[in-house]
Amino acid sequence: DIVMTQTPLSSPVTLGQPASISCKSSQSLVHRDGNTYLSWLQQRPGQPPRLLIYKISYRVSGVPDRFSGSGAGTDFTLKISRVEAEDVGVYYCMQATQFPLTFGGGTKVEIK
Amino acid sequence: QLQLQESGPGLVRPSQTLSLTCTVSGGSISSGGYYWSWVRQFPGEGLEWIGYIYYSGSTLYNPSLRSLVVISVDTSKNQFSLELRSVTAADTAVYYCARLPAGREFDYWGQGLLVTVSS
């Protein structure tokens, strides 16, 4: 199985300041079809996960442009340019390049 | 707007079979191009993909659970179901159903159902 490792576990951020989450995979996520199936999910308290970004950097319709994804191969990053109160929650990376699908352990974003 | 809704018992006895159903509304399971999945989230918040089913009935399971899991589909009811047998306390989790397009990202999720395994 591909192991997904996220850091940090927790990210206390001041409102309006940026936040960055790292996700590293135990092997390359480049699929033989040329795509990299790395997505980011947001889970607000008491809610199911919500898809934010797919294939590294494609933002889902309706997701604010303060969210951006980047990376390649085994190293990926989710950035929030200016954290707002509604961004509080746990963020997960997920790989779908190889089955079984696997998730990172999650990063909690909270307001200082 | 597509919606998924899990249903089933919230309490299951150890060694028994956990049975859940996901009802899809606002779209048809039979439309093709999507893999209907089950994902669970343990109390410590970790997420685990259980498996998926295509409308044709073909399935793929997480090898860690393969011998214990059956996912089935009823296209006439626009539902798919999960059976997990011989459960233990370690199977206590929130169970989600979710849609996985061929693009391989979970774009729609149900609200989740907490299932507790306890005697």
Nearest C-alpha in B relative to A46 = B111
Q: Determine how many CB atoms are found less than 10 A away from the CB of residue B89.
A: 10
pLDDT above 90 covers a percentage of chain B that reads 93
How many C-alpha atoms does A30 have within 13 Å on its Cβ side?
7
pLDDT at A17: 97
What is the pLDDT, as a whole number, of residue A10? 95
Cβ–Cβ gap A49/B111 under 8 Å: no
Q: Is A59 touching B (CB cutoff 8 A)?
A: no
For residue B67, give both structure tokens: 């011998």
Predicted local confidence at residue B66, as pLDDT: 83
> What CA–CA distance (Å, rounded) separates A31 from A28?
8
Beta bridge partners, A40, equal A53, A93
Please list, in sequence order, all residues whose beta carbon lies within 8 angstroms of the beta carbon of residue B11, skipping any fewer than 6 positions away.
Answer: B115, B116, B117, B118
Average pLDDT rounded to a whole number, residues B8-25? 98
pLDDT for the residue numbered B44 = 82
Q: What is the pLDDT of residues B31-89, one digit of tens each?
A: 889 999 999 999 988 999 999 999 999 999 999 998 899 999 999 999 999 999 999 99
**Separation between Cα atoms, residue B79 and residue B29, nearest integer Å:** 8
B109: contact with A, CB 8 A cutoff = yes
For chains A and B, what is the number of CB pairs under 8 angstroms?
52
Q: What is the pLDDT of residue A108?
A: 97
Could you read off the pLDDT of A35-92 as tens digits, one per residue?
A: 999 999 999 999 999 999 999 999 999 999 999 999 999 999 999 999 999 999 999 9
State residue B74's pLDDT score: 97
Any idea what DSSP says for residue B23?
A: E
> Cβ contacts (< 8 Å) between B105 and chain A: which residues?
37, 39, 51, 54-55, 94, 96
Hey, are the CB atoms on A100 and B62 less than 8 Å from each other? yes
Q: Which amino acid is at A19?
A: A
Rounded CA separation B39/A47 (Å): 14
Whether A10 and A110 have beta carbons less than 8 Å apart is answered as: yes
Q: Could you report the per-residue pLDDT of A3-46, keeping only the tens digit for each? A: 999 999 999 999 999 999 999 999 999 999 999 999 999 999 99
Identify all chain A residues contacting B64, using CB atoms and an 8 Å cutoff: 100
